[in-house]
Amino acid sequence: MDTDRERHSARETAFYLFTQQSLPACKPVLTPGWVIAIFLFMGVIFIPVGLVTLRASHCVVEIVDRYDIDCVPESSRMDKVSYIRDDSIPKNCSRFMKVHKYMKAPIYIYYQLDNYYQNHRRYVKSRSDKQLLDGQKYHDTSSCQPVESNNNRPIVPCGLIAWSLFNDTFEFIREGAELKVNRKNIAWKSDRGHKFGKNVYPFNFQNGTLIGGGKLNPEIPLSDQEDLIVWMRTSALPSFRKLYGRIEEDLDVDDVVVVNLTNNYNTYSFGGKKKLVLSTSSWLGGKNDFLGHACVFVGCSSLTLAIIFMLLHVKYRRPYGDTSYLPWNRKSFSG
């Protein structure tokens, strides 16, 4: 009985302390010494980290080639959309990429699309994860509007994302010999293992009157259709790169890589751009200076603040908690 009452009153006290906002709390006093030390510490940490990050980014060699305009013959440049829609015209195109700095294998091949909103709400939702994973559930296409079925039969894989699969192809030649491109292992392992089924085969795909993009080999299960898996990991931003393959040979300075591509994919109707990117990688990934610049910027600002505060502290040193500095006390001073 007694312990019960004690527990009860203890709870009441705690509740009282909480409602009266008088719980024990950490109340740091930011004295000038502490503030200066913290800013100094931040500067000392951030600047070297930023420089190391920038260095990693600068070590990455990248070649970018925009080909969507140059690959349309001059005579068709006025009306690119009807050119790309005309299936009777061959869409082959050759590009030359000059290597300006030694590139160490593996060299990643990406295609980059700009102004392509893979993050649009209706686009992102237009897929059926159940169907992609499980061969028994090929009827599960209700979430795939507006590309659910064709001739009353379900489409596998259904939905806008799969329908709009990128379908440009690239071949690489150096000094007359073909550069081998490894197109395996370009998708996430977890996607291959857990999101795209080993017993799901494309069916009735790209059979409609309006063809949105690439076709799929109906003999290969979805878990091995890596281009599709890469494409279906939708991008959050309207400019994005997707992995196409890897070149597993080094490229030397002044090598010229001839790219024979087929320019199939229609980005002309919405003003998109297509680029081909060859890039090496560092321990930090691809070429991106943002992180490095951000770190250096934060470090330098902290250091500057630390120095300013230090000077102010030395120049206008005074005891802490001196009540004569309070305005109401100061008034009596002057008055």
Enumerate binding residues for ligand NAG (CB under 6 A).
87, 167, 211-215, 264-266
Please state at what angle helix 290-315 crosses helix 32-59, rounded to 10 degrees: 160
What distance in Å separates the CA atoms of residue 56 and residue 280, rounded to the nearest whole number? 11
Closest approach, Cβ 46 to ligand NAG, in A, equals 46
Closest approach, Cβ 76 to ligand NAG, in A, equals 15
What distance in Å separates the CA atoms of residue 80 and residue 69, rounded to the nearest whole number? 9
Closest approach, Cβ 145 to ligand NAG, in A, equals 20
Of 86 and 248, which CB lies nearer to ligand NAG in the complex structure? 86
Q: Which residue is nearest to ligand NAG (CB)?
A: 266
Burial class for 155, CB neighbours closer than 10 Å (0-12, 13-18, 19+)? buried
Residue with tokens 């073909």: 178
Closest approach, Cβ 43 to ligand NAG, in A, equals 51
Whether residue 169 contacts residue 183, with contact meaning beta carbons closer than 8 Å, is answered with no
Closest approach, Cβ 211 to ligand NAG, in A, equals 5
Of 106 and 208, which CB lies nearer to ligand NAG in the complex structure? 208
Query: 3-state DSSP call for residue 304?
Result: helix
Of 53 and 266, which CB lies nearer to ligand NAG in the complex structure? 266
Of 213 and 238, which CB lies nearer to ligand NAG in the complex structure? 213
Burial class for 262, CB neighbours closer than 10 Å (0-12, 13-18, 19+)? middle
Token pair of 291 as six digits: 């992180």
